[in-house]
Amino acid sequence: MENRLAIFKDKWGKLERYLGFEIRTRRTAIDSDACHDESISYSLCQRFYGRKDELEKALAYANNMLDMIDGILEPEGLPEYARKDYENYKSTNTILLIYQLVGNMYYMQGDFQRSAEHIMRCLSYERNDIGLWVELLFSLRSAGEFVLFEDAMFNFRALVIQWQADPDKILTHQKVVELIDAVSGND
């Protein structure tokens, strides 16, 4: 595990150099007066618009990083030393950021289903960031799920709070539909 994380850190640096920007975002709570942070999607657009091959290369690299850390978001069963690293990584958002980055890369690529899947994975662990919800909802809209998008957007606050209080661990598409139906009165 330690070795894997060290390699991960190294790859992170290489990826940032290839991207040309720092992979970071500001998490925004629903009660915040700040607007959500769009810097990842904006920076990706500036870097890769019209550069399909380079985007594919970056995406393959980032996916390889995700393969390395597959399961790292689940601390159960990890040895003690790995749990410590896990906590560090979780607290600095590092692993979530890679998932979010990959989700945004898929969005750039036009694969909105995969984009949604990665953003939902982030939302499973980071439930306070409305920026992730906005990214997820636009993935749904771009995939043609207009009704779901609007029902969510017009009940946004209730939706975010509903998920924060939900006992389920993992956000899935089915769960998103259930949450949206619950807050928009469609159930």
Partner 1 sequence: MDKVNKLEKKGILDSYVPKRFGKEYYEINGSRQYSMFLSVALGVKKSFDDWVQPDRLDEFRRVCRDYGLYLETDVIFDKAQLDKGTVIGGENITTTFVVAEQFMDKTGPKSRAGKSDRYKSKSSQKLHVFVSGSKKTAIEAKKFGWYSVIINNRNINKPFVDHLRFGGCLGYPACCIDFFRRFNNWSLYNHPYEVYKNTPNLPGMAKGSYLCNNHLMDNSYFFIHHLPCSYRCENTISYARMVEDRIMDVEPGYARKTAGFLKQPLLVFGEKNFIIFDGRLKQGEIRYTNAQYLSNAARPEESISFFEDVLKGNRITFASGSAAISGVGSRGPAKSVDSAGSICSADTGHFGHTGTGSSGCLDIMHNNKLVSRVKKRKDWFIIDFD
Interface residues toward partner 1, by CB under 8 A: 32-36, 38, 41-42, 44-46, 49-50, 104, 107-108, 134-135, 138, 141-142, 144, 146-147, 150-151, 153-154, 156-157, 185-186
Report the alpha-carbon distance of residue 9 to residue 23 in Å, rounded. Answer: 12
Q: Are 136 and 75 in contact (CB under 8 A)?
A: no
Nearer to partner 1 by C-beta: 12 or 156? 156
Residue 4 CB, nearest approach to partner 1 (Å): 31
Taking the complex as a whole, the smallest distance from the CB of residue 21 to partner 1 amounts, in Å, to 14
Q: Length of the chain in residues, anyone?
A: 187
| Beta carbon of residue 97, minimum distance to partner 1 (angstroms, whole number) | 17
> Considering all CA atoms of the chain, what is the largest pairwise distance in Å, rounded to the nearest integer?
49
Could you tell me the smallest distance in angstroms from the CB atom of residue 105 to partner 1?
11
Q: Which is nearer to partner 1, 63 or 184 (CB)?
A: 184
Instruction: Report the residue number, 5 or 123, with the smaller CB distance to partner 1.
Output: 123
Task: Please report the DSSP string for the chain in residue order.
Answer: -HHHHHHHHHHHHHHHHHHTS--------TT-SSPPP-HHHHHHHHHHTT-HHHHHHHHHHHHHHHHHTTTTT--TT--HHHHHHHHHHHHTTHHHHHHHHHHHHHHHHT-HHHHHHHHHHHHHH--S-HHHHHHHHHHHHHTT-HHHHHHHHTTHHHHHHHHHT---SS--HHHHHHHHHHHHT--
- Minimum distance from residue 183 beta carbon to partner 1 (Å): 13
Q: Which is nearer to partner 1, 46 or 64 (CB)?
A: 46
Least distance (Å) from partner 1 to the CB of residue 160?
11
The residue (of 84 and 157) whose beta carbon lies closer to partner 1 is 157
Nearer to partner 1, 72 or 151 (CB): 151
